[in-house]
Amino acid sequence: MENQQKQFIATIVVLSILISSVFGFLAGSFAFSRLAQKAGSQQAGRGNFNTTQQEGVVKVVKDVSPAVVSVIATKDLPIIEQQFQDVNPFGDLFPFHIQIPQFQQKGTQKQEVGGGTGFIISADGLILTNKHVVDIDGAEYTVLTNDGQKYPAKVLAKDPVQDVAVLKIDKNNLPVVKLGDSGKIDIGQTAIAIGNALGEFRNTVSVGVVSGLQRSISAASGSGTENLEDLIQTDAAVNPGNSGGPLLNLNGEVIGVNVAMASGAQSIAFALPINLAKKDIEQVKKFGKISYPFLGIRYTIIDQALKGKNNLPVDSGALIVKGSNDNEPAIVTGSPADKAGLKENDIILEADGQKIDKDHPLAKIVEGHNVGDTITLKVLSNGKEKEVKVVLGER
């Protein structure tokens, strides 16, 4: 009886060890499987991030490219032929002949003289591009769409301040771009440029990041040098011919208009924020032109140095002064400022309640209005402050 009990107890112990081993093995296997699955998910997650970003760029390019166009400028240029005339300068004295080249015009021929990029902003054929792309005297313009179709283009309007122009082609039901909000751009975010690189390679795509904001540059164009402000800087490659093309975010929205590149540098390009062009687009749609409000004064911003030099009573504001030449008056005759009674050496302290200083220049405040708006100025004149209301004209 006692032996049977011992055998029974031994059997129970063995069975317990076996069962514990089996459950331990199963639990360990399950835990290892879960850890491996989690690690695999994390690995896949990292891979999916890169894949997702790449897929996002590809999708943006596919969606937007049909609305990106090439703009080609052509002119009738003379065809010059060179001929040689056999001449004996010594007459009958010496049998010596020379050939003198002569040039004759044999008609004219249309030749390409420039070009750039644009993008379609309305289904009925409105196209946004740079002003310098369509600023060639006597040129005609043709738009080449992504599907290879050519359309004659009319220049509807050129912005007198920004490097922006609006074209029109006679075509409906066109693909259009989506306009984003350039006020929400962050440095480091992905930027995609599409354009007619070098005027030869249509819909060339480059990808980079927004590398700077609120840049100011002097850009050379066919009509001279233009000062551009509040630009987006990007390292997405931009080449001659990209001018006027879209700079896009990963949502496929246009955040800028490619306008210039830094010569002598690598991967430094600039784009006009799309918010600056939105007002132009709306004006062209409503009125068929781009108009800018006009005050009619020449001024300089007051700072501590100017205050001390001219013994001024304030260290901020816009001092109304004439230019260095006789044809640069302080107040334009007949202008809104002239009609409102502003005078040379008056100081404009505020405009619509906004203090005037180097960070808030008067010109920027005026440009934020429309032609016909009334702007309220706080003016210091002959030592006394007064309020002046001015109805803005058109530049």
Render the burial of 166-182: b for 16+ CB within 10 Å, e for the rest.
bbbbeeeebbbbebbeb
369 is catalytic: no
Q: Is 15 helix (H, G, I), strand (E, B) or coil?
A: helix
CA atoms of 210 and 186, how far apart (whole Å):
7
- Distances in whole angstroms, Cα of residue 329 to Cα of each of 169, 182, 296, 351: 42, 37, 10, 21
Question: 78 CB contacts (<8 Å, ≥6 apart)?
Answer: 105, 107, 108
243 is catalytic: yes
Whether the CB-CB separation of 194 and 61 falls below 8 Å is answered with: yes
Question: Residue 200 carries which DSSP code?
Answer: T
Q: Token pair for residue 345?
A: 């050496």
Count the residues in the chain.
395
- Of the candidates 163, 182, 206, 335, the residue annotated as catalytic is 163
Q: Which residue in 67, 176, 157 sits closest to 117, CA to CA?
A: 67
Q: Which residue in 386, 392, 387 sits closest to 373, CA to CA?
A: 392
Q: Which residue in 227, 234, 228 sits closest to 265, CA to CA?
A: 234
Find residue 221's DSSP bridge partners. 224
Q: Is 167 helix (H, G, I), strand (E, B) or coil?
A: strand
CA atoms of 120 and 139, how far apart (whole Å):
21
Q: Token pair for residue 126?
A: 């409105």
Nearest 5 degrees, angle CA 186-CA 191-CA 192? 160
Q: Which residue in 231, 232, 362 sits closest to 300, CA to CA?
A: 362
Question: Residue 158 carries which DSSP code?
Answer: E
- Of the candidates 70, 182, 206, 243, the residue annotated as catalytic is 243
Q: Where are the alpha helices (DSSP H) in the chain?
A: 2-64, 274-287, 304-310, 336-339, 362-367
- Of the candidates 132, 182, 280, 346, the residue annotated as catalytic is 132
Catalytic residues: 132, 163, 243
